[in-house]
Amino acid sequence: EELEELRPKVEALQAEAEAKERARARLEEERNRLKLTNQELEEELRAAQGDDHAMAAAYRRLQQRVAEMDQRHHAQEKEWTYVVKETRRMCEMEVETLKHRSALALETKNREIRRFQLELEQILTAAAQMHSVNQTLVMA
């Protein structure tokens, strides 16, 4: 019963981990788009090579944009990596908790069964004794 109560939590955590993994994939796609943007900027730079001054300014702008994109990408990737790792850790902890609770519940049920078996044996012993006494009384 406790296992069934906790199952939706585990499923929710797993769904959250999957969503975060999809977000990480989207970040990877964004990184690829940024690479394409970088290539386009480099092409613009090559087009501006006719004028040394324009080329130097374009190159500085290109370097700045690439550095900014790279910083954003690394920050986002680091954040999503942490989120995915933390979600997995939480799922693992929840699974361990579920295992522990299940083991405790099973142990409790086993104790109840053993207690019931002992009570049943006592009842059967008492019934056998009563039957023996009745047989003795009937014969006397």
What is residue 51's predicted lDDT score, i.e. its pLDDT? 61
- List the structure tokens of 85: 């790792």
Contact 16, 90 (CB under 8 A): no
Each residue's pLDDT, cut to its tens digit, for the chain (140 residues) gives: 677 788 888 888 889 889 998 988 999 999 899 889 888 888 877 776 656 676 677 788 889 988 998 999 999 999 989 988 998 999 899 889 889 999 999 999 999 999 999 999 999 999 999 998 888 888 86
**CA dist 48 → 38, 55, 61, 63, 101 (Å):** 15, 5, 12, 15, 69
What is residue 54's predicted lDDT score, i.e. its pLDDT? 67
Residues 127, 128, 129, 133, Cα dihedral to 10°:
100
